[in-house]
Amino acid sequence: MPEKNELMEKIVSLCKRRGFIFPSSEIYGGIGGFWDYGPLGVELKRNVREAWWEDMVLRHDDTTPPPGMPSPYAMVGIETSIVMHPQVWKASGHYDLFQDLLVDCRHCKARFRADQLTASQCPLKPSKRPGEHATCDLTEPREFNLMFKTYIGALVDPESEAYLRPETAQGMFTNFRNVLATSRVKLPFGIAQIGRSFRNEITPRYFTYRSREFEQMEIEFFCRPAESRLWYEYWRDRRFRWYVSLGLSEERLRLREHSPEELSHYSCGTADVEYAFPFLPEGEFGELEGIAHRGDFDLRSHMEGKLVRRGEELVVETESDGKPRHPGSGKDLSYFDEETRERFIPHVIEPSAGVDRSVLAFICEAYAEDAIPDENGVPQPRVVLKLHPRLAPVKAAVFPLIRRDGMPETSLAIYRELKRTWNVDYDDKGSIGRRYRRQDESGTPFCITVDGQTQEDGTVTVRDRDTTVQERVPIRELVVYLRERLTAA
């Protein structure tokens, strides 16, 4: 395998060449921090979302819960709007706290995060860090809010200001009462959502890893305060195993608990699932997902107003006259336990994963280079994406060996039959070796070739992507054959 920097360049090139990911607005020179997903990228991204939804929502109780906890527990989905009432972000704390300290260079006009100056590069040549050129003229650090501002209605004035959501979580908290009333769920239960979020990142970088528009897969799991620590550990460990089950190597994954100094002011515990991306220095990891024990912070904030920590307690932040600085809704977001006759504010465990980061990690993990013999037995270099079958954009490709003797007709009939169940491809262009290479780079697990023997005995050649082993399979058994192998991994 190539070195890290070279490897990442090859992965980015493959994503463009095979239609996984394109720069947004590329014909106009692109726009930093925004990306478009091509035909294969759309399928891969959809498969990641569907795997998450199936495993976490539809089959949420397939795993053993913490000792003494109920099984099955409820898990429901929701889809909330990207633009919410501005007061949501004030009560949640985003309006005041969701910001970075930035430093500008008056000479080159570049902007840098104050906490990343030593890791940043000045755009001037030769490459140096900000402040190291004689012409550098850096400003003092200034606060910059990361939320995208927009306006509601026809007038552009302070009264019509709103924001694109920086996370999907708040829509689940504000709908807590609605879910309770309509779904008749009881604690513990979870609300799941997949949706787009927006953060005005100052230095988007590392391909799709740090973007300004991204997609999240989040769960807000509500439980009794006394049980919350057990549920936190359950979700922390379960989310780590999910990535392993879909092909990420445990050697390049780690589950890292935050130190007390790192924890948010409201957090009772947070762990990150991290992956050793090729664009990072050796030994460093990047966050894939955060699992946070948020206590009752969010529901309380939307009830009472923005909370701040004073000593060991979270209290409502007030103005000098004693009024809440950013008041909550005033609505009752507590939970009444009919069995114990208690009323309390539930604790929340939040597993929050990035779809785009997950897609990038799966691509990085799957990328491989090897050499396999061509038709004449001569080893030829090959690039292959060894994606887990559940994630592979195309599950199988069907080829006629040649475009005559009834082979195209038989191949098209097989293609149409398989298309009823999976996303499959049909390819009759170029040599069979070139067709194999195209599918290898696309991550297709199986290639099916119709040849001269097919007309004699009704069998086809099925080639395995990873091993390149081929075997004859009767056409009538193809669906069963593929189903067994696509679901066995």
- Spatial CA neighbour of 454 closest among 403, 418, 406, 404: 406
Same domain, 207 and 256: yes
Asked whether residue 112 is assigned to any structural domain, the reply reads: yes
Q: What is the pLDDT along the chain (489 residues), one digit of tens a residue?
A: 566 678 999 999 999 999 999 999 999 999 999 999 999 999 999 999 999 999 999 987 777 788 877 777 889 999 999 999 999 988 888 877 766 677 888 888 777 776 777 777 788 888 788 888 888 888 877 767 788 999 998 888 888 899 999 999 999 999 999 999 999 899 999 999 999 999 988 778 889 999 999 999 999 999 999 999 999 999 999 999 999 999 999 999 999 999 988 888 788 899 999 999 999 988 899 999 999 999 999 999 999 988 888 877 888 888 888 888 888 899 999 999 988 999 999 999 999 999 999 999 999 999 999 998 877 788 889 999 999 999 999 999 999 999 898 999 999 999 999 999 999 999 999 999 999 999 999 999 999 999 999 989 999 999 999 999 999 999 999 999 999 999 876
Asked whether residue 62 is assigned to any structural domain, the reply reads: yes
Asked whether residue 59 is assigned to any structural domain, the reply reads: yes
Same domain, 108 and 211: no
- Cα(48)–Cα(358) distance, rounded to whole angstroms? 8
Same domain, 93 and 223: yes
Asked whether residue 357 is assigned to any structural domain, the reply reads: yes
- Domains: count for the chain: 3
Asked whether residue 135 is assigned to any structural domain, the reply reads: yes
Asked whether residue 24 is assigned to any structural domain, the reply reads: no
Same domain, 138 and 176: no
Same domain, 82 and 103: no
- What value, to the nearest 5°, has the Cα angle with vertex 65 and ends 64 and 69? 140
Asked whether residue 367 is assigned to any structural domain, the reply reads: no
Whether omega for the bond prior to residue 474 falls within 30 degrees of 0, making it cis, is no
Give the CATH number for residue 420. 3.40.50.800
What is the per-residue pLDDT for 174? 96
308-314 — which CB contacts under 8 Å span 24+ positions? 308/265, 309/265, 309/266, 314/265, 314/266
Same domain, 222 and 108: no
Domain boundary residue among 361, 384, 402? Answer: 361
Give the CATH number for residue 194. 3.30.930.10
Same domain, 115 and 200: no
Strand runs labelled E in 40-188: 74-77, 99-104, 111-113, 142-145, 149-151, 161-163
- Spatial CA neighbour of 99 closest among 87, 110, 115: 115
Over the Cα atoms of the chain, what is R_g?
26
C-alpha 220, offset from chain centre: 16
What is the b/e burial string over 316-336, where b = at least 16 CB atoms within 10 angstroms of the residue's CB? bbeeeeeebebbbbeeebbbe
What is the per-residue pLDDT for 98? 66
What is the per-residue pLDDT for 142? 73
Q: Which two tokens stand for residue 353?
A: 């994963």
- Spatial CA neighbour of 225 closest among 122, 344, 379: 344
Same domain, 87 and 137: no
Same domain, 306 and 179: yes
Same domain, 203 and 114: no
Q: Are 44 and 362 in contact (CB under 8 A)?
A: yes
Domain boundary residue among 337, 361, 385? Answer: 361
Domain boundary residue among 85, 115, 145? Answer: 145
This prediction's pTM: 0.89
- Number of neighbouring beta carbons within 10 Å of residue 34: 15
Asked whether residue 7 is assigned to any structural domain, the reply reads: no
What is the per-residue pLDDT for 222? 96
Same domain, 279 and 398: no
Range(s) of the domain holding residue 304: 39-98+151-361
Same domain, 158 and 138: no
Note the helical H segments in 137-260: 169-174, 176-183, 228-245
What is the per-residue pLDDT for 82? 96
CA separation (Å) from 134 to 115, 125, 128, 324, 464? 22, 12, 11, 49, 59
- Cα(243)–Cα(288) distance, rounded to whole angstroms? 10
